[in-house]
Amino acid sequence: MSTAKPRAWPPRTTRARTTRPRPPTKQTAQIPDAVVSHYARLLDDSGIMPLIDAELGPRPGPTGVPIRAVLVCLMVSIHHSGKATLAEAWRLAAFSLSRTSREQLGLDADRPPADDPHACLADNRRFYRAFDRLTSLLDPARHDRRTRLPQHQADLLATAWQDTDPDHTRKRELLQDIVTALVLTPVRWAKGRGYLRHFRGDVGIDTTATPVFARPPHVRRSTGELIASTEITAGWHHSAGNGPPEYGYSATLTVAARTRSVLGSFPQLALGLVLDTPHKRIGADAITTLRPLAELGLPAAFAVVDRAYTDQQPAHFAQPARELGYKLALDYKVDQRGVQGSAHGALLIDGSPACPLMPARLAQATTGLDDTAIRTPSEELTALIAAREPYLLRLKQSANTGGSIRFQCPAAGTSPSVTCPRFDRLHQRGPIRATAVDLTDARQRAAHVAAKPRVLPPAPDHKTRDLPKICHQQTITLHPGDLGHLDKFRQDLAYLSPSWRGTYSTVRAMTEGLNGRLKGHDLDLSDPKNRLAHGRVAQTILAALLVAVANDHFLDQWRHTHQPPDEPDASAETFEIPAEHLDRSPLTGRSRPPPVP
């Protein structure tokens, strides 16, 4: 064993000094031309500039800074710093873009001299005025957005966002068309490259808080007058949790999701965005995000929503969603669980039509249970939910063009799930012939009449004319208005069943996951300091730009994770989309060149 002492390491002060962390400098980073070109292509592919130019029309005077350049610089700012602020966008446009990029955006080739404050201020004001032209153009209630008005005047202006005036309606629809086009452009790119080939149409819809930097209304001490906020249509967003409410807007987001039974992977993208006053038009905003998906050619499967959408009137959410081809997976409040109503004699139990003679213990299994008992069901509750299944009416025919659905009695058909003396008496079904059963065959044992639950009618049974319609005939037709307002509770999966859990829990987790990514470190939709411009139009456009850039990042990250660099993109012909929408160019990171059609 050696007894030599270890050699002392000489101090290397030079190397330590060079590897020491340094504070960031004030020097502005240079933005690669490829990044600018990429987001210019995203904006051009969205098709919003012809809409804006048509609405703007010819105007006298100097043209000023192009609106297209301002929007591209805002997206570059979001990509570079996560901020959708005009100050950051102008700083990057003035000092971080190359001469080539500035010329392509229609800006002056020469940058404003940094040592001349008057030239910088003039260039900054031209940049701001270009964005003001856009927001004033699309605002149905134009006013000075820097002045806090008395509340009664603000309320009068706010009616322009919900009245039926044709000009106001047209501007609101144009603004939403711009938002939808921006958000769906990366989705259209993903579909053109074949990245959505495993998407089966399951979507999650949720409403998340989008606070603003403006202060809420307050009472002026000197006069006692109620002064409105500069955001005249903002309000308090109350989340489902225990957190305090936030003042601002509510963003309705539709998310591309998948269930446990669906194999394959695809990028998790936002498929729709609507910015609105909190707790107003919740169901209508969700439908607004779903309609463009059919025009894009995406499939429709399950729409998974929380209890805020279950409370909406059927005509506001449930019926339009079914007309678009979506099935519903819902959750209920404490006082909504259990037996919810009836139609044609069939009970509506936790959203599913069921036999009117279902045992009360099964029908009331979820009545009065709190959320904790539902989220972590006991073995007894799980057994009761499984015992309900044979008594549920079976789907005989899917919805037709009018939305009518046919259901079959569980005791009818060639393979009934229950045995019912009432059904045998009314329909004159004779005794079942005894057959030999192989007791070692599980399927034969389960199919035998003795293994099926037996419905127990009251003794003595009712007269024939007093029996429910479902007992008189083997099937019933459930029309959209048969349940009335209770139609909002009907869903297409048995509540708390394994199939419901595999769909609802998975999609809700993915929905919350995308909300978390939109409120992460790089991009934060929930930070009002990232959206400082005043007015609902400005907030809507900035939120749409944030989500569009986030979708572009999600698409890029998914490609680098799931597609090898040397693997070509999947063919897009299988989706039968127009040739002008195809985009097969590979992604090459955040400094990638723009896609080539």
**φ/ψ of residue 443, rounded to 5:** -70, -40
With the CA atoms of 354, 358, 362 and 364 taken in that order, what torsion angle do they form, in degrees rounded to the nearest 10? 80
pLDDT at 26: 57
377-384 contact pairs (CB < 8 A, 24+): 377/496, 381/496, 382/496
Residue 348: both structure tokens together: 């509506």
pLDDT at 565: 56
Residue 437: both structure tokens together: 């059963």
**3-state SS class at 184:** helix
pLDDT at 503: 93
Say how many residues make up the chain.
597
166 preceded by a cis bond (ω within 30 of 0): no
Rounded to whole angstroms, the Cα distance separating 120 from 127 reads 11
118-166 pLDDT, tens digit per residue, is 999 999 999 999 999 999 999 998 888 888 899 999 999 999 999 999 9
496-533 pLDDT, tens digit per residue, is 999 999 999 999 999 999 999 999 888 899 999 999 99
Contact (Cβ atoms closer than 8 angstroms) between residue 60 and residue 75: no
pLDDT at 399: 83
Identify the residue whose tokens are 């040397």.
566
Rounded to whole angstroms, the Cα distance separating 10 from 5 reads 15
**φ/ψ of residue 54, rounded to 5:** -65, -35
Contact (Cβ atoms closer than 8 angstroms) between residue 338 and residue 313: no
Over the chain (597 residues), what is each successive 10-residue block's mean pLDDT? 56 60 63 94 95 88 89 96 94 92 91 87 93 94 86 92 93 96 96 91 95 91 88 90 86 91 85 94 95 93 94 94 94 93 92 93 93 91 94 88 88 86 80 64 64 81 78 87 91 94 93 92 90 93 97 92 60 38 38 40
Residue 150: both structure tokens together: 């008395």
pLDDT at 443: 67
Q: Across the chain, which distance is largest between two alpha carbons, in Å?
A: 107
**3-state SS class at 472:** helix
In three state form, how does the secondary structure of 218-258 look? EECCCCCCEECCCCCCCEEECCCCCCCCEEEEEEEEEEECC
Rounded to whole angstroms, the Cα distance separating 563 from 568 reads 9
Rounded to whole angstroms, the Cα distance separating 403 from 487 reads 12
Contact (Cβ atoms closer than 8 angstroms) between residue 449 and residue 420: no
With the CA atoms of 517, 520, 525 and 526 taken in that order, what torsion angle do they form, in degrees rounded to the nearest 10? 120
pLDDT at 146: 81
With the CA atoms of 97, 100, 105 and 110 taken in that order, what torsion angle do they form, in degrees rounded to the nearest 10? 70
